[in-house]
Amino acid sequence: MNAQDEERMKKWIRDAVPAVTGSEPSRDLWPEVLRHLDAKPEPPPWFDWALAGGILGFLAFAPASIPILLYYL
């Protein structure tokens, strides 16, 4: 790549990527972070429990599939 190609590439990059202005957030984000950390996590949905029960039931009736399952995890 010669100098002319390099300058043309730099121009394309400058044109494609706008300059960053006002990089400060519009408000203080720390109270929102604290609120998020203090929030109680939601329990998993019922279908997650149903899927886990189905997998355990399948493994109880077909224990030879346990290594296969562990391989894919």
Q: What is the pTM of this model?
A: 0.44
Instruction: Inform me whether the pLDDT recorded for 1 exceeds 80.
Output: no
Confidence (pLDDT) at 50:
96
61: left (phi over 0), alpha (psi -120 to 50) or beta: alpha
> Distance between terminal CA atoms of the chain?
46
Instruction: Inform me whether the pLDDT recorded for 46 exceeds 90.
Output: yes
Highest mean pLDDT: which of 7-21, 24-38, 50-64?
Answer: 50-64
- Rounded distance between C-alpha atoms, residue 58 and residue 67, angstroms: 13
Higher-confidence residue of 30 and 22: namely 30
Percentage of the residues of the chain whose pLDDT score is greater than 90: 45
